[in-house]
Amino acid sequence: MRVRGKVNLGLGILAKRPDGYHEVESVAVPVGLADEVAVRPVPYGIEVRCPGVPGPPEGNLAFKAGRAVLPLFPAPFGLDISISKGIPVGGGMGGASADAAAVLKAARVLLGEPARREALDEIARFLGADVPMFLVEDVTADGRVSAFLLRGRGDEVRPLRSRDLPELYLVLVLMNFPVSTAWAYARWDEMFGGRPYCHPEQRGTSAGLDETETRSASGYSGTSEDPKGRRTTGFMDPRIQRIIDALKTGDARLLGSSVFNDLEEPVFAGFPVIREVKHALCRAGALGAVMTGSGSTVIGIVADPLHGLEVCREFRRIWAEESCCGLEKSSLLTGRPSVKELVLVDRSRVLGRCKIS
């Protein structure tokens, strides 16, 4: 099973919630960089093989997903899970969540009982905020989602229908180090944690996104409406609507000027090399650049594949010059922080890649 990673074109943090999570609003897009996940039934137990990922298998989110679904099967039953990583670990592209969702999708096939989808929805939310998004992707009518609109702690998912949207082209800059999501949000709390929490029922609404549906991971869908019966986005952050408008029209320049991530400031403070990558991408000709998720990956918006190749070539030149002059090194890293690879993607394919270090 091929499972795509995601990038966040916009990530706004409203406040820290009473349950310890953070209330967010985000636009996430699936991209062509992907993992390969194979799941097969075995007589008992759970085995996970994931070469290149540090730590015991029990710490892998796919293992936790397998352990969570086993009670749904008649005993004895087990799962053998094999993962080939293409999505960078700790890169802010949701690789672990995508793998966990793949295990849940496989369990849904093996169970063959649609009535149990509600149980899988609950497991997805328990495993992590991004897992429901990847589970939703598999049940949309056309089998391909162009964007996700996310709220709550990231587990309230609205797919943006793909058939009406132009293609999207991105340059991904993959780093040679991960960034912990928990660490990034803890640093955000230190900087901005005094914001008052706003309950979802207190949110404002804004009309104009008639392509969105509220959809659970099991496939249930319904529209969000204001008192006058109009479909609404329900987003508080006006920056989100600009990104949605850019995606709908295919305006790469508008998208480039609209991307944002509220985690950048705290993460850049700890990993200044990521800030340098963002600046280098813009100098190389990208229409805009932003860190995805909690990092460490940075994405550049490009107009088309040819433009993407030009940006990659210029970025390599700029980065080589700046590396010779020396970059500001983070005290959080034991080795030399650097760019590992450039990858040119659209929503479903890898169009080109170039090793840097």
The alpha carbon of residue 278 and the mean position of all alpha carbons in its chain are separated, in whole angstroms, by 18
Q: Is 105 known to be catalytic?
A: no
Tokens of 292: 């995805």
Residues with Cβ within 8 Å of 56's Cβ and at least 6 positions away in sequence, in order, are: none
**Active-site choice (6, 64, 105, 248):** 6
Q: Is 6 known to be catalytic?
A: yes
What does the DSSP assignment read for 83-107?
EE--SPTTSSS-HHHHHHHHHHHHH
**Active-site choice (35, 99, 130, 262):** 130
The alpha carbon of residue 225 and the mean position of all alpha carbons in its chain are separated, in whole angstroms, by 27
Contact 43, 26 (CB under 8 A): no
**CB atoms closer than 10 angstroms to residue 7:** 27
List, in sequence order, every beta strand (DSSP E) within the chain.
2-16, 22-42, 45-49, 78-84, 145-151, 156-161, 169-175, 214-215, 221-222, 260-261, 288-291, 298-302, 339-345, 350-355
3-class DSSP string for 153-184: CCCEEEEEECCCCCCCEEEEEEECCCCCHHHH
Annotated catalytic residues are 6, 130
